[in-house]
Structure 1
Amino acid sequence: MEIRHFRYFLAVARQRNFTRAAAQLGIAPPTLSRQIQDMEASLGTRLFIRQQREVSLTEAGAALLIEAEATVRQFEFAQRNAQRAGRGEIGHVELGYVASAVYCGLLQRQMQAFSQAFPDVSVNVRECAMATLPSAVADGRYDIGYIRSPLTLPDGVEAVRLDSEGFVLALAQDSWLLGLKAIGCEHLQNETFILPEQISGTLHVAAQGGFAPRLGPQPGGLVAVVARVSLGQGVAVVPASMVGHVSLPGVVYRSIKGSEAASWLSLIHRRFEKAPAVVRYIQQVKQVAKVEA
């Protein structure tokens, strides 16, 4: 027997009439009658008591009715789920991000929009070291990632450019630089720079100031960077979104006069991504980025 036999059986059981059931199914009554006869022959028992105008279930038919309804429901559920998975409406996404994607609120906005559009797609979100995130996306440990660009990417990984922002200077509250009316790039030539994972801002500020930067430690995430600043180990050029979001005792943020240093967040993904749910996420981010551009 096939699933269609259960559908035919249920139609007759509900309509109690072969003609009405055949009309509901869109087939000829003789065809339906033969299908039910084949079903009864396969089972070795009668399912219906046939009368002139109506049919009624035998004891075997009544027993089959409950199971047939459950079977058809499960089949339709499986069919719908397969179709939805193919459209990217259900599934799973592994997402990695760097901390600044959260500080500026970008990750929250995009995750909320995606969850509203596709509530049955589960997204596992984890903060990652930016140095390892691109390779983790390339080899499949993550499906997508939020990084701070510019950054060299492995072959097969692409980036969608998102929000851009400038940099600010994080310095200790007792720094002599706070005595200046405005801090320019040239004032930083004798400072030790605590390095975040994305060092382009530091290098750009040093280039604008006309000096080679004195490089200090590179402790990892932005909170670790600012923690080193709070301990008096140096200054740090960090994304402007940290102001108001990461506040540590003994740390002050100041703008850098004349600095044109900027970076931007990017969504990175595999170039030939096949998983429908992941493709949906990438498409949504691209659409929003295009509108905001």
Structure 2
Amino acid sequence: MSKADELFCAMCADILENGTTTEGQKVRPHWEDGTPAYTIKQFGVVNRYDLREEFPALTLRRTALKSAMDEVLWIYQKKSNNIHDLHSHIWDEWADETGSIGKAYGYQIGQKSHYPQGDMDQMDKVLYDLRETPFSRRIMTNTYVFADLSEMNLYPCAYSCTYNVTQTPGSDKLTLNMVLNQRSQDVLAANNWNVCQYAILLMMVAQSVGMIAGQLVHVIADAHIYDRHIDIIRELISRPKLAAPRVSLNPEVTDFYGFTTDDLIVENYEHGPQVRNIPIAV
């Protein structure tokens, strides 16, 4: 069975059984009808996925892997903050009349800084450092820029990636690992979406610099289940768990900026029925 399923079910059970509630407190999110959106939450959740063992897609229900990759490309490859460059509609609620979400996500990744080696944005600096000084402990991206928060239509949720390289004895290639830091997560709507997104990002970067994609460590400061999601979660985690799909990238692409969603190869993805019409708090 999928290890991602096991981790997801254990996390959800822990939140439901041992979490704390925000009911009655002053909260920002509201439901479409104006009702406050309360949560059951757990602080400081850490999940570890090893991409050398399997790809961490849920089989309890389907995760739209190519759409997840499309958002990754939008942020880290296109470095865009405009929904017209994105094929899904997940950001429509936070876009202005021009399609912009403000100085968020891709805007921050594309900001250039001056280094002795030349001017580079955040993603280019990651790729440069992994090629030139792979064992550096300073290789990361960060979109939570305080000076620009007032001009972001939504503060970044998954905001920081730290890359770390290890050498496995006997292996000709280095292993690339990532820590993903997330300040807040709607577990039902976004957990596996984010996990799969950053697993694909890790795979893309590793392939671009000639490394093996290793561990993805996902740190969530506030992992929460909304009150209107509780029954959906209980049903979801009671479902049968299936074998993880095989997910890979087109081996001919070695330029990070050359990847498209057509280069994501998904095989043997068996899953339970999709959950329809999930209410989203905004």
Q: Structures share a fold, TM > 0.5?
A: no
User: What is the TM-score with the length of structure 2 in the denominator?
Assistant: 0.21
Q: Using structure 1 for the length normalisation, give the TM-score.
A: 0.21
Q: Which has the higher contact order (CA 8 A, sep 6+)?
A: 2
